């Protein structure tokens, strides 16, 4: 296997979009192509994450139509669906196809229209990523799942629920602060200076999670240009290398011993670290899947950044802020930036690379620029997990 | 890249199933595991084709839940969606992951519930694989698309439409004859001795295609065990090697110059032949995507088995029968065997391997057993194409 680099990145504005998801995807691809300084005719295959296009927009086989929309010719174009992790598993596969030597340059990314369909319809739609026979359709939708996870977290570590709500609120405050600085975020210039009470007093959604503990639904797309590492410097002075990837499966909930320690996430992160030859101590920046505030705590512990039960205090103490032990979700995360399901994994990588290039907003940029970054993307209620480790150099492998 | 072998195969009865698609998939996986003589704990990743699970059964992220249903632990489990070609693109990716050396043994296959949803709902659902802005939702469903292709075929080669209907009818007669011999086919022991008039006089669906020109909707699943070729003989005396694969994209219809010469199919077949180091003359058996009779003719010409406009006569002359130039769809194809969308590509490989093992039914088995076989799977209206070339030996590569 040869090394793989990312040489171009694209990202639409997250929020409410009037365009169809295919149009959003093309917009992000054209940006990525332009950023890489390559041409569409150089692209040999397309890897697209999309979770709900059939249900929402009456369009399956979306990857092929994206290839057509971009006039890419008859190249292979494949759609991956792993719920909210769709883009990450598409990117992981793209890295394999380039790493194997089969393709030299490809597009990988994801897209979704998740906001314009409306909230009631959305809740039912997203519940399709729960286990159909036993979960979503009987009423156990995602806010409820993560509320259960929070309850379990409180019980495991003997934290009074009101105390845990305060600790979780710091995730919301941090991620909204970062999102307000991100010009492509859904909440850009909004909710940037939340007070603890505002989070705690926001409308209760599923006890103990209130509205500001939850990420919004979003429309958006993001895309990357991947190429063989040895060719990367032909195109850019700032290639970013894919050092390791992992993917894991889990669920359904009825089979899980402890919602706060999903084996899918632990296994996936371990694989990625092993492949990269790195440990959590080496990582300078992570984008984790904060669909709910509690999810960020669970992610950080499963990935090994904090011991079991220690992430809640770490967030409250500012260890996950700019200048802290490990900055987390400097993009705003799903909570501050928005969550267009099938696009999220690509967006996470986009913002890691913006940081590595020193192109984050004022007050948001890590200094010196991070050497190693990592993404964590979660599909459904721990059904699909994917981790990708990125480096400015080919790393310690 | 190392060579990849298929060492185990599984296939449910196609037709109407009372089980959910996840259960059908598990059934086919357990058969494949048993056939290979391996254990579930040997499986390192799962690759699943499924086109419509969200829309039909309210279940996305189905691959992860299949891994859970099979107690496969936290291994990567990925769903691929390329409409009717979903299983083939999943298998192609699985071959890449094994070929690269990343995994030694994996499961790949597909599943669908396409019959139990009912015909009216089905037509709308399948139309999601057309181009949403310009095709299916405005009424151009699949029978209409292939009727247009037949019209174009008649025009290109100056064949009176009634004559073409007769020629196409021979595809139906042949595939129904084969399907009636296939114990897992939807039409097993049914429609095995159709007369020309019965096909011509069957209910008109979309002129010039009548009911017996069309494949049925089906429920079903099929799965394969793939491993590194060098390990294959540890498990079986009859490994089948994946010698070449190709994938292509095309459409939408508004961009296609000639529906009978889809560039997606031509490009994909060419890639597969090149990778295998073989030509159409080397192939002893093909399973092609005969969603409609005309589609079989188009497939055979695009793949290079017959010149442009020559497949219609070849079928009428019996060249695609047992004992003919190139036996086509000995399983019954989609028309005789049934078409559970996301499972079809895996089923095609299953029946090529049954022939290679000499395990086809009496009156259906090619003698001597075929050395090289090839599958052709079509997603949507030429949007996604996939070809896989199989051999009993590692081939001329």
- Helix (H) or strand (E) run with residue B25 in it: helix B21-36
pLDDT for B136 = 83
CB contact under 8 A, A80 and B76: no
- Write down the domain spans for chain B: 4-118+218-232
In B, residues 113-172, which contact A (CB 8 Å cutoff)? 127-129, 131-133, 136-137
Reported pTM: 0.98
pLDDT for A119 = 62
And the tokens for B118?
């009912």
Other C-beta atoms closer than 10 Å to the C-beta of A358 total 13
Size of interface A-B (CB pairs under 8 A): 192
Convert the pLDDT of each residue in A22-73 to its tens digit: 999 999 999 999 999 999 999 999 999 999 888 788 899 999 999 999 999 9
Q: What is the mean pLDDT of residues B259-277?
A: 98
Greater model confidence, A167 or A122: A167
And the tokens for A191?
């909710």
Convert the pLDDT of each residue in B314-328 to its tens digit: 999 999 999 999 999
Q: What is the mean pLDDT of residues B92-118?
A: 94
Q: How far apart are the first and last CA of chain A?
A: 12
A327 and chain B in contact, CB less than 8 A: no
Convert the pLDDT of each residue in B177-211 to its tens digit: 999 999 999 999 999 999 999 999 999 999 999 99
Q: Which residues of A are catalytic?
A: 84, 339
Task: Pick the closest to residue A77 from A104, A124, A45, A50 (CA basis).
Answer: A45
- Using CA atoms, how far apart are residues A363 and A367, in angstroms rounded to an integer? 10
Candidates 3.90.1150.10, 3.40.47.10, 3.90.660.10, 1.10.510.10; CATH matching B4-118+218-232: 3.40.47.10
CB contact under 8 A, B64 and A132: no
**What is the pLDDT confidence band of residue A351, given thresholds at 50, 70 and 90?**
very high
And the tokens for B337?
């065997």
From the candidates A48, A54, A261, which should be mutated to test the interface with B, based on the most B CB atoms within 10 A?
Answer: A54
What per-residue string of b and e applies to A123-156 under the rule 16 or more CB within 10 Å gives b? eebbbbbbbbbebbbeebbbbbbbbbbbbbbbee
CB contact under 8 A, B250 and A131: no
B58 and chain A in contact, CB less than 8 A: yes
Q: What is the mean pLDDT of residues B81-92?
A: 98
Strand partners, B47: B78, B108
ipTM, 2 decimals? 0.97
E strand intervals along chain A: 4-11, 46-49, 77-81, 105-113, 204-206, 209-210, 219-228, 240-249, 285-287, 372-379, 384-391
CB contact under 8 A, A81 and B64: no
A21 and chain B in contact, CB less than 8 A: no
Residue B225's alpha-carbon distances to B25, B42, B50, B76, in angstroms, are 13, 10, 17, 15
DSSP A5: E
B40 and chain A in contact, CB less than 8 A: no
pLDDT for A136 = 83
And the tokens for A240?
């970013």
- Helix (H) or strand (E) run with residue B79 in it: strand B77-81
Model confidence at B117: pLDDT above 80: no
Model confidence at B270: pLDDT above 80: yes
- Using CA atoms, how far apart are residues A176 and A186, in angstroms rounded to an integer? 10
For chain A, how many helices (H) and strands (E)? Answer: 14, 11
| A63 contact residues in B (CB cutoff 8 A) | 82, 249, 384
Convert the pLDDT of each residue in A319-350 to its tens digit: 999 999 999 999 999 999 999 999 999 999 99
| Three-state DSSP state, B144 | helix
And the tokens for A336?
């501050």
B250 and chain A in contact, CB less than 8 A: yes
Other C-beta atoms closer than 10 Å to the C-beta of B371 total 15
| B94 contact residues in A (CB cutoff 8 A) | none
Q: Which residue of A lies nearest to B247 if distances are taken between CA atoms?
A: A76
């Amino acid at each position: 296997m040869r090394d793989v680099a990312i040489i171009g990145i694209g990202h639409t504005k997250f929020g409410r979009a009037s365009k169809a998801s295919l149009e959003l995807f093309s917009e992000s691809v054209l940006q990525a192509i332009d950023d890489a300084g390559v041409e569409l005719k150089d692209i040999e295959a397309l890897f697209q994450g999309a979770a709900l296009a059939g249900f929402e927009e009456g369009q399956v086989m979306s990857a092929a139509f994206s290839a057509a929309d971009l006039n890419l010719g008859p190249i292979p174009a494949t759609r991956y669906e792993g719920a909210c992790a769709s883009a990450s598993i598409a990117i992981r596969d793209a890295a394999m196809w380039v790493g194997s030597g089969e393709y030299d340059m490809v597009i990988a990314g994801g897209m979704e229209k998740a906001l314009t369909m409306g909230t009631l319809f959305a809740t039912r739609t997203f519940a399709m990523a729960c286990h159909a026979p036993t979960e979503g359709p009987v009423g156990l939708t995602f806010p409820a799942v993560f509320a259960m996870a929070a309850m379990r977290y409180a019980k495991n570590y003997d934290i009074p629920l009101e105390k845990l709500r305060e600790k979780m609120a710091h995730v919301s405050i941090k991620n909204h602060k970062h999102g307000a600085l991100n010009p492509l975020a859904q909440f850009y210039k909004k909710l940037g200076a939340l007070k603890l009470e505002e989070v705690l007093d926001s409308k209760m959604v599923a006890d103990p999670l209130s509205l500001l503990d939850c990420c919004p639904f979003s429309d958006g797309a993001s895309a990357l240009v991947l190429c063989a590492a040895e060719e990367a410097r032909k195109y850019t002075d700032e290639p970013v290398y894919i050092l390791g990837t992992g993917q894991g499966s889990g669920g359904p909930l009825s089979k899980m011993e402890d919602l706060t320690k999903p084996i899918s996430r632990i296994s996936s992160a371990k694989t990625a670290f092993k492949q990269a030859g790195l440990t959590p101590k080496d990582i300078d920046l992570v984008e984790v899947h904060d669909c709910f505030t509690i999810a960020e705590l669970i992610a950080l512990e499963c990935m090994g950044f904090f011991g079991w039960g220690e992430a809640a205090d770490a967030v409250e103490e500012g260890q996950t802020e700019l200048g802290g032990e490990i900055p987390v979700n400097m993009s705003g995360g799903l909570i501050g930036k928005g969550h267009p399901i099938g696009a999220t994994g690509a967006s996470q990588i986009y913002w890691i690379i913006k940081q590595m290039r020193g192109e984050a907003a004022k007050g948001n940029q890590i200094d010196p620029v991070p050497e190693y970054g990592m993404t964590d993307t979660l599909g459904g209620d721990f059904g699909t997990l994917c981790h990708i480790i990125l480096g400015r150099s080919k790393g310690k492998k």
